[in-house]
Amino acid sequence: MATNNNVQSGNHATSSTESESRIDTAYLISIRGILKYACLLFCFTAFICVVSTPQCSGTHLFLAVVTFLVMIMQIIIIIIFVFRLKTKFPGIDFELLDIFATSSDALYLLIASSVLIHYCRISGQLAGGAMGLIAFLFLVSDAVIIFLAQRKETVSDTNNQDGR
Domain ranges of the chain: 28-89, 92-154
The per-residue b/e assignment along 45-81, b for 16 or more CB within 10 angstroms, e otherwise, is: bbbbbbbebeebeebbebbbebbbebbebbeebbebb
> Can you tell me the mean pLDDT for 116-128?
94
**Which of 17-21, 27-31, 66-70, 155-159 shows the lowest mean pLDDT across its residues?**
17-21
- Sorted by sequence, the CB contacts under 8 Å of residue 32 that are 6+ apart come out as 81, 142, 145, 146
- Sorted by sequence, the CB contacts under 8 Å of residue 111 that are 6+ apart come out as 66
More confident residue, 107 or 55: 107
Q: Using alpha carbons only, how large is the chain's radius of gyration in Å?
A: 21
- Sorted by sequence, the CB contacts under 8 Å of residue 103 that are 6+ apart come out as 139, 143
Across the chain, what does the average pLDDT equal?
87
Confidence (pLDDT) at 53: 92
**Above pLDDT 90, what percent of the chain?**
65
3-state secondary structure 22-48: HCCHHHHCCHHHHHHHHHHHHHHHHHH
More confident residue, 161 or 54: 54
Alpha carbon distance 74, 2 (integer Å): 49
pLDDT above 60 for 136:
yes
**Residue 99: band (very low, low, confident or very high) from pLDDT cuts 50, 70, 90:** very high
Confidence (pLDDT) at 20: 54
Alpha carbon distance 46, 134 (integer Å): 10
Confidence (pLDDT) at 87: 87
Tell me the C-alpha to C-alpha distance, in Å, between residue 125 and each of 44, 91, 118, 128, 139. Answer: 14, 43, 10, 5, 21
> Can you tell me the mean pLDDT for 123-143?
97
pLDDT above 60 for 119:
yes
Residue 29, φ and ψ in degrees, nearest 5? -110, 5
**Residue 158: band (very low, low, confident or very high) from pLDDT cuts 50, 70, 90:** confident
pTM over 0.95: no
Confidence (pLDDT) at 86: 87
